Amino acid sequence: MITLPILFEDGEALVIDKPAGLPIDRPRSGGTSLENYLDALRLGFQRLPLAVHRLDQDTSGCLLLARNAKAHKRFAAAFEARQVEKVYLGVVAGPVAEDEGTIALNLSKISSAEKGWRMIPARAGKPAVTHWRVVERRDGLTLVEFHPETGRTHQIRVHALAGLGAALLGDPVYGGGPVADAPARRTMLHAAALTVPREGKPPIVAAAPFPADFAALGFSCLPTT
């Protein structure tokens, strides 16, 4: 197994740089998941750390872990109250005309025998808000910085398609084709930075390095936090 880089560490929290391809939960078919690394991530503490939020298997970058149940509860409440600042980078598989904006589209889960489950914009869905700005344009692709206010499942992936007019590069669900047909080996989404406020303590602040597969597409810009 590879070593997971640690971006932030103190007595109640860890932020790791999760690699693309590593699932948070163990797949039903078996295989490596975050669970395989938890014992090594104890770093001398008695309890195994607990993931506070979710990142899709393909998504790389900042993942917050709590060292104990009380800290997990506080951090989860901060996410629920929209107090956590999150910055993502995504490569949109097409041109984006505007330079910045806000996407407010409610999201709902649907399922079919042909396509499985996915999220769609729907008036009756849960509110979802994403602020965005273009970082760089190159060869028909657009590097976009996303600041999600809410944390709905697949929020940025659906908002990219419905709000910006093109899916994230390599997205097999919302991009209209399998990853193998795209010039990318995964859905190109990266959790670039995370700031979690804490009462009576300095905030948790972490930033993940710019991914090599983003750079391989010719992009070089880093996010602002």
Residue by residue, DSSP assigns 166-217 as SPBTT-TTTSSS-GGGTTSSS--EEEEEEEEEETTEEEEEEEPPPPHHHHTT
CATH code of the domain in which 180 resides: 3.30.2350.10
Residue 166 inside a domain? The answer is yes
Between CA 85 and CA 62 the distance in angstroms is 12
State the total domains in the chain. 1
Question: What ranges in 43-171 are assigned the alpha helix state H?
Answer: 69-80, 155-159
Reading the chain (225 residues) residue by residue, the pLDDT tens digits are 678 999 999 999 999 999 999 999 988 887 899 999 999 999 888 899 999 999 999 999 999 999 999 999 999 999 999 999 999 999 999 999 999 999 999 999 998 767 678 999 999 999 999 999 999 999 999 999 999 999 999 999 999 999 999 999 999 999 855 555 556 789 999 999 999 999 999 999 999 999 999 999 999 865 444
List, in order, residues 6 or more apart from 30 with CB less than 8 Å away: none
Structural domain including 95 reads 6-215
Residue 31 inside a domain? The answer is yes
Residue 223 inside a domain? The answer is no
Question: How much of the chain is in helix, strand and coil states, percent to nearest 5?
Answer: 15, 35, 50
How many Cβ atoms from other residues are within 10 Å of residue 138's Cβ?
Answer: 13
Residue 66 inside a domain? The answer is yes
Which pLDDT score, from 0 to 100, does residue 130 have?
Answer: 98
Q: Which residues are catalytic?
A: 56
Question: pTM (2 decimals)?
Answer: 0.92
Residue 225 inside a domain? The answer is no
Tell which residue, 171, 170, 142, has the closest CA to residue 155.
171
Residue 161 inside a domain? The answer is yes
Residue 83 inside a domain? The answer is yes
Residue 63 inside a domain? The answer is yes
